[in-house]
């Protein structure tokens, strides 16, 4: 058997699969090694099953709104075991698709844990493989070291395999994984407490989105235990207890550790191969995803740059095009759209208002309203939109939204931002009516300004 390859990829998640298939399309002989299921975090234990659970939780809101539109006699009972069985079948189907994509691309798949023996040598399943090009795409996994006792709680892996809804749930953390599962489990009927030390959830997001999400979560019946440091988690006869710095104790029948993730670098033999990592274990790379060791690259969450599936895929393809294709390619990490699948959902792309204001004069446009569907059904849900605009060039620097369909709307607007759209471009775009998205092209006067342009704001076109 010839154990020499043009490319060896460690990790068959979204980024690794994308890189291996693209390299094979360029004519490279490729092997990919995976110690777990093919598809990685996103497909097997992340984005996909999480959104399927989100859809299930959203059905309760649809049933409650239906009465406002004239429907009667609607009732239902959620059976999580039925959902779990359907989810397992769907994930199995998707994994089969990923395996077929690799096979059809001519990529050899090896099931086993790989490690770097030295630069150019990879050991897996008793074989020593050789390649001048090794790509590490091992992703990340839930961290358990933020607080004592966190290892007792579920992580995002286990919560997606639940077969019954916990009566009460304590979610530890304030990031996007924490707020998503808090929202989802509350929608499925669990009494949820969200505990985090900051004053608002989603640190790093635009402040107006953070405050509105906190209000929305509270409006959904979620208890926000914020603003107090957390000391440790313990298990009791009735479930779990979370000790806080002020002496208070939060209790629930189940607990979810959502305090963040760590790059999967342990046991890879990085030090022996000369690959440097940072204090969190992330692999250090340059703009072309090259590590500190010759012939070794890394992409995706294992590098802890922008930890999103589409980014890992783009990095993988850029690597393959640059190394095996005819033209070099790089990923621009400065303008990456992202979404938080809470109820209501959040989507954002570009700079926050605070970050933009630190760079120069900024005009801020915003719209806050109750959507037609919610208003007609007697609901209280609101939608908030914001445009952050350069006060000198009129270029749109940031787009932020919380409300129904926010991820779908902002995904489309991200195209405009990547093309350098200005506020004037938004103003001369005719609205599609009646939609929520039209509000983004109907904002005419800035709600506020930061800094003062030397010759006055270029601003929006007059109407």
> Which of 132, 43, 136, 55 has the alpha carbon at shortest distance from 93?
43
Token code pair at residue 67? 């009465």
Q: How many CB atoms lie within 10 A of CB 332?
A: 10
- Cβ neighbors of 118 (< 8 A, separation 6 or more) are 272, 273
Return the SS3 of 368: strand
The H or E element containing residue 290 is none
Whole-Å CA distances, 170 to 219, 224, 233? 17, 10, 10
In Å, the largest CA–CA distance within the chain is 72
Residue pair 136/302 in contact by the 8 Å Cβ criterion = yes
Phi and psi for 34 in degrees, rounded to 5?
-140, 125
* Location of structure tokens 């008793």: 126
Question: For residues 385 and 377, what is the distance between their CA atoms, to the nearest angstrom?
Answer: 22
Question: For residues 59 and 68, what is the distance between their CA atoms, to the nearest angstrom?
Answer: 15
Question: For residues 61 and 264, what is the distance between their CA atoms, to the nearest angstrom?
Answer: 37
Return the SS3 of 142: strand
The catalytically annotated residue of 26, 290, 433, 450 is 433
Q: How many CB atoms lie within 10 A of CB 256?
A: 27
Phi and psi for 7 in degrees, rounded to 5?
-145, 135
- Packing angle between helix 80-104 and helix 47-66, nearest 10 degrees? 140
Residue 433 annotated to the active site: yes
Report CA torsion sign: 158, 160, 162, 166: positive
Do β-strands 223-225 and 191-195 pair in parallel, antiparallel, or remain unpaired?
Answer: parallel
The H or E element containing residue 221 is none
Return the SS3 of 415: helix
Q: Which residues are catalytic?
A: 433
């Amino acid at each position: 058997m010839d154990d020499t390859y043009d490319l060896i990829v460690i990790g068959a998640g979204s980024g690794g699969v994308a890189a291996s298939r693209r390299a094979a399309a360029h004519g490279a002989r490729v092997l990919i090694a995976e110690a777990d299921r093919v598809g990685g975090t996103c497909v097997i234990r992340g984005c996909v099953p999480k959104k399927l659970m989100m859809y299930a939780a959203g059905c309760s809101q649809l049933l409650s709104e239906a009465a406002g539109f004239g429907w009667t006699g609607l009732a239902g009972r959620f059976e999580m075991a039925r959902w779990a069985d359907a989810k397992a079948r769907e994930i199995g189907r998707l994994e089969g698709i990923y395996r077929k994509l690799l096979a059809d691309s001519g990529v050899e798949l090896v099931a086993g844990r790989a490690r770097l023996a030295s630069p150019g040598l990879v050991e897996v399943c008793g074989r020593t493989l050789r390649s001048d090009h090794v790509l590490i795409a091992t992703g990340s996994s839930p961290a358990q070291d933020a607080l004592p006792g966190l290892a007792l709680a579920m992580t995002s892996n286990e919560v997606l395999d639940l077969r019954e809804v916990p009566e009460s749930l304590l979610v530890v953390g304030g990031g996007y994984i924490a707020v998503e599962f808090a929202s989802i489990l509350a929608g499925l009927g669990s009494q949820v407490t969200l505990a985090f030390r900051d004053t608002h959830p989603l640190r790093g997001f635009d402040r107006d989105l953070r405050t509105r999400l906190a209000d929305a979560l509270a409006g959904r019946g979620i208890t926000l235990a914020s603003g107090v440091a957390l000391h440790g988690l313990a298990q009791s006869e009735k479930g779990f207890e979370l000790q806080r710095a002020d002496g208070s104790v939060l209790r629930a029948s189940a607990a979810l550790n959502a305090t963040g993730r760590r790059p999967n670098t342990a046991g890879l033999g990085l030090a022996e191969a000369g690959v440097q990592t940072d204090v969190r274990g992330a692999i250090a790379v340059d703009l072309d995803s090259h590590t500190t060791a010759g012939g070794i690259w890394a992409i995706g969450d294992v590098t802890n740059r922008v930890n999103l599936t589409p980014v890992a895929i783009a990095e993988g393809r850029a690597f393959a095009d640059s190394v095996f294709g005819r033209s070099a390619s790089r990923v621009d990490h400065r303008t990456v759209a992202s979404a938080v699948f809470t109820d209501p959902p959040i989507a954002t792309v570009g700079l926050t208002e605070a970050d933009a204001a630190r760079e120069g004069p900024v005009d801020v446009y915003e719209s806050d309203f109750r959507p037609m569907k919610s208003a007609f059904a007697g609901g209280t849900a609101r939608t908030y939109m914001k445009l952050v605009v350069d006060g000198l060039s009129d270029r749109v620097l940031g787009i932020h939204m919380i409300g129904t369909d926010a991820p779908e709307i902002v995904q489309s607007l991200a195209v405009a931002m990547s093309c350098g759209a200005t506020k004037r471009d938004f103003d001369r775009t005719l609205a599609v009516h009646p939609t929520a998205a039209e509000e983004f092209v109907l904002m005419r006067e800035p709600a506020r300004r930061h800094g003062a342009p030397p010759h006055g704001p270029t601003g929006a076109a007059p109407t």
